[in-house]
């Protein structure tokens, strides 16, 4: 996923070509690229800029404005910890500290073995069963330190099985 080769270049071009005539096409294009490649590579920015008749600075400006878009490859698994008030009222500050310690990384970082990325999130809409985290595509409610450890252990085990 990390190398931006000819194939990735072609994929970006195809996405831009296919979607550029949508009204307000920029966000749908960026989503499509990130969904396909996991992040938006610097070299993709020039292709988007050219296709959309905008400057690279303008495209970069949009990408950097939104928390969802990333310009570096994510780890194999992404964990988002909710930092908003409902989760705070149920101990998310302590949970957050535990998560960072367990994973050995801070927010916006990826572990050295490329297994885990950690991101903050402000509300997953699961506020009645706080604190909440999201592991890849799944929201998990009422997370405790031990429940979190189990989740991470499961992810690591599955990673081994795949190999």
Q: Which of 10, 101, 106, 125 binds other proteins (CB under 8 A)?
A: 125
The tokens describing 28, both together, are 């749908």
Cα angle 99-96-89, degrees, rounded to a multiple of 5: 140
Site for other proteins in 4-33 (CB under 8 A): 23-28, 30-31
CB of 10 to other proteins, least distance (A): 23
CB of 78 to other proteins, least distance (A): 13
CB of 147 to other proteins, least distance (A): 11
Closest by CA to 133, choosing from 154, 150, 148, is 148
Strands of the 77-82 sheet, one edge to the other? 109-110, 116-121, 77-82, 133-135, 138-140
Q: Which of 4, 38, 69, 115 binds other proteins (CB under 8 A)?
A: 69
103 near other proteins, rule: CB under 8 A: no
- Identify which range of 7-15, 38-46, 123-131, 147-155 contacts other proteins by CB under 8 A: 123-131
What is the rounded CA–CA span in Å between residue 105 and residue 126?
Answer: 25
**Three-state DSSP class for 149?**
helix
Give the binding site for other proteins (CB under 8 A): 23-28, 30-31, 61-62, 65-69, 84-90, 93, 97, 121-130, 132, 137-142
């Amino acid at each position: 996923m990390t190398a931006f080769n000819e194939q990735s270049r072609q994929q970006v071009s195809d996405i831009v070509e296919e979607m550029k005539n949508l009204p307000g096409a920029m966000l749908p294009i960026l989503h499509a690229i990130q969904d396909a490649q996991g992040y938006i590579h610097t070299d993709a920015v020039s292709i988007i800029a050219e296709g959309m008749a905008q400057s690279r600075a303008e495209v970069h400006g949009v990408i950097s404005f939104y928390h969802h878009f990333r310009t570096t490859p994510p780890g194999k698994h992404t964990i988002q910890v909710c930092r908003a008030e409902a989760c705070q009222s149920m101990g998310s500050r302590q949970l957050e500290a535990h998560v960072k310690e367990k994973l050995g990384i801070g927010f916006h970082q990826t572990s050295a073995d490329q297994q885990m990325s950690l991101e903050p999130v402000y509300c997953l809409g699961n506020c009645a069963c706080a604190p909440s985290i999201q592991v890849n595509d799944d929201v998990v409610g009422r997370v405790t330190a031990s429940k979190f450890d189990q989740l991470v252990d499961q992810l690591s085990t599955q990673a081994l099985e795949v190999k």
